[in-house]
Amino acid sequence: MMYWNGSGMNGWGYALMTLSTVVFWVLLITGMVLLVRYLTRTAQGPGGSAVPAADEVLAQRYARGEIDAEEYRTRLSTLHGTHMSGNTS
């Protein structure tokens, strides 16, 4: 014998089904985004960038002796936008 009044899903069942579906899709999409971000940053350094910043390259060139102190300061001030216009010589 079928019990028509007690065998169906009530409002709480629909709410739970909707909530679980939303949670499932949020977790699935979040997992996919995190996986893609992890796989694309494997070649990058700890700072998150594979290409060093311009001032880091400049500091490395100065440390290797490729440029002198005056050129280092001039280029560094140009990078930071504090370069004085006009000739100092």
Q: Give residue-wise pLDDT tens across range 52-77.
A: 788 888 899 999 999 999 999 998 88
Whether 76 and 55 have beta carbons less than 8 Å apart is answered as yes
Confidence grade of residue 1 (pLDDT, cut at 50, 70, 90) = very low
Give me 73's structure tokens.
């300061």
Confidence grade of residue 5 (pLDDT, cut at 50, 70, 90) = low
For 11-44, the pLDDT digits (tens) are 788 889 999 999 999 999 999 999 999 888 765 5
- Supply the pTM of this predicted model: 0.42
- Residues whose CB falls within 8 Å of the CB of residue 55, separated by 6 or more in sequence, listed in order: 76, 79, 80
CA gap 52, 50 in Å, rounded: 6
